[in-house]
A and B are shown apart, each in its own frame.
Chain A
Amino acid sequence: MEEKIIVGIIVSAIAFFSVYLVTPILIKALEKRNLCVKDANKKENVMIARPGGISIIIGLVISLITFYLFFPIVEVLAVAITSILAFLVGIIDDRRVMGGWFKPAALAFCAAPILLLGAYDTNLAFPLFGEVKIPILYLGLIVFMIPVMGNTINSIDVLNGVASGFTSIASFSLTIVLFILQNYEIGIIALCLGFTSLGFYKYHKFPSRIFPGDSGALVFGAAYGAIAIVGQVEVIAAIAILPAIINSFLFLSSVKKIIEHREIKNPTSHTEDWKLQTTADKLAPITLVRLILAKKPLSEKQICIEIFKLAIFSGILAIITAFMMSVEI
Chain B
Amino acid sequence: MSAQIFSFIFSMWILILVGGGLMVLFVGPISFAGFGEIDPIINSGIKVLIALILIFIWIFTLTKIKNWIFQRQTSS
Contact = CB atoms under 8 A, between A and B. Distances in A.
Contacts of B59: 249
A235 B5 contact: no
A292 B72 CA distance: 13
A235 B13 CA distance: 10
Nearest to B25: A129
Interface in B5-61: 5-6, 8-10, 12-13, 16-17, 20-21, 23-25, 27-28, 40-41, 44, 47-48, 51, 59
Contacts of A310: 2, 5-6, 9
A11 B41 CA distance: 43
A124 B74 CA distance: 35
A286 interface: yes
A242 B28 contact: no
Interface stretch (A55-63, A131-139, A190-198): A131-139
Interface residues of B, number: 34
Contact of B16 (A133, A235, A295): A235
Interface string A302-329: 0000100110011001000100100001
B48 A313 contact: no
B28 A127 contact: no
Interface in A130-170: 130-137, 140
A27 interface: no
Contact of B21 (A129, A250, A278): A129
Contacts of B10: 317
Nearest to B1: A295
A115 interface: no
B17 A314 contact: no
Given A128-B21, A253-B63, A286 B74 contact: yes
A288 B4 CA distance: 12
Contact of B1 (A137, A140, A292): A292
Contacts of B72: 294
Contacts of B40: 135-136
Given A134-B51, A245-B12, 11 more contacts: A136-B41, A137-B44, A137-B48, A243-B5, A246-B9, A249-B59, A253-B63, A278-B76, A292-B5, A294-B72, A329-B21
Interface of B: 1-2, 4-6, 8-10, 12-13, 16-17, 20-21, 23-25, 27-28, 40-41, 44, 47-48, 51, 59, 62-63, 66, 70, 72-74, 76
30 contacts: A126-B21, A128-B20, A128-B21, A129-B20, A129-B21, A129-B23, A129-B24, A132-B23, A132-B24, A133-B28, A235-B16, A239-B16, A242-B9, A242-B13, A249-B59, A249-B62, A249-B66, A253-B63, A254-B74, A278-B76, A286-B74, A291-B1, A291-B4, A292-B1, A294-B1, A294-B70, A313-B6, A313-B9, A317-B13, A321-B13
